[in-house]
Every structure is written in C-alpha cells, then in structure tokens.
Amino acid sequence: MQEEVQKHTQRIYKAAKSKEHTLGDKVKEILIEIFIIVFAVTLSISLHSWSEHKHQQEEVKVFLENLKNDLQNDVKSIDIEKEAYKKSNMDYEKILALTPHQLDSIYKSKNKVEFPIYSHGPKMNIGNFEGFKSSGKIGYIEDEKLKQKILNYYQIYVPAINEVDKYYNDFLFKCFDKMIENADKSEQEMYADPKFKKTLEFLVKLGNNNIRVYDKNTKPLTIELIKEIEKELNK
C-alpha cells in the first residue's frame, strides 16, 4: 500500500511539473491521482478493519464455546454439591435426634457417635472468563445484554455462592471449637450438651439455606446463561 501511495504521489508531482499539459489538464490529472490515493487508503483501512473485526468475533465464538462448557460443568458441580449438603444434613440430624437414653446405650456398648466432617463448595470454573477479561477482550462481545449477563454472573453471583459456602464452612469450625471447649467432658456429655446441639442445629439450617440458594438462584442463572450463549452461537 505504501508503494502504491508513493507511486501516485510521484505522478501528482510529475503532472504538476509537466510543461506539456495545460493547467486544466494538470488539475484534472492531479485530482484523479488524489482520488485514487484516497480510495486505495480507504479501501485498505476498511479491509483491515473488517479482517480485525472478523478475527475478534472468531475469538468471541471460541470464548463462548469454552464458557458454555464451563457452565455445563458448573451445573453438574452444583448438583453434586447439593446432594452432598443433603447427606451432611442427614448425618447431622441423626446426631441431633439421639436421645440421652440412646446415647447412654451407644457408649455402654463401647460404640461411638462419629461426627462427620464435610466442608462444602462447588468448584466453579472461572479460568476462561478471567483470562478473556484480563486480556481486555470482553468488549469484543457485541451483544451488550449477553456481555452484562456474563459479567454479572462471574462478578456477582459466583462470589455470592462462594460466600454462602464459606459461611457454612466457618460455622462448621465453630462445631469443632465446641468440641475443643468440651474436651474435658465425655463425648456422650458433649453430644447431649444443649449449646453444642444448638450449634449443630444452626449448621443444618445453613445447609438447607445453601441448598435453596443453589436451587433458586445459582443453578437457574447458570442454565439461563447457557441458553443465552447457545442463542448467540447459533446466529
């Protein structure tokens, strides 16, 4: 392109210096050469912009396809974690249901009440999103509504689900603290202790709350985003 511009510029210079042409012919020839230069430059810029835009949209397509796979895996992780919460609650509720008489019977027979330890939290896949965002390419997504949904999902809802799981796990450690505080008591006395039982009851309530968060918020939002991405990919 630079060589072409130089070639036509030289022609303009020669036309301006020519003694064989009238002033009108010179002006006409100069205007033609200027038009050719402007047209060539404009065409070159347009082609470059088109090529760059095409490349950007190809990157967006790959990103959305990877994001769709991540979200589908997130749905599976959410379902697995939801079932894990249900199992945790069942095991803790069994402990809460033990009467003093049952506890006495268990320990007299030299058995023990096992306290299950379950920390929770689905492993949400955020690598593709973070990589695309940090590279400054998130603006390549031309559908503004889809872009905002993706940003909201990863910057608001994913941190929110991590927060409710963290709160549950923090409270689980409060149960461990209660065990340590009651280290001078027998296990039978600890499991019968009203404060310990109340702490365990609250842990079960948190588990049920997190199941509701998964069912009512996280999973529906994830499925909705998958559908929006599929719609964009099928355009």
- What does each of the 235 residues of the chain score in pLDDT, given as a tens digit? 555 545 545 555 455 455 555 555 555 666 666 666 666 666 667 666 777 778 888 999 999 999 999 999 999 999 999 999 999 999 999 999 988 888 888 888 888 888 888 888 777 899 999 999 999 999 999 999 999 999 999 999 899 888 889 888 888 888 888 888 878 888 888 888 888 888 889 999 999 999 999 998 899 999 999 999 999 999 8
Who's near 28: CB < 8 A, 6+ residues apart?
Answer: none
CA separation for the pair 94, 33 (Å, rounded): 90
A 10 A CB-CB count for 76 gives 10
The pairs formed by 23-27 with CB atoms below 8 angstroms and a separation of 24 or more are none
pTM: 0.74
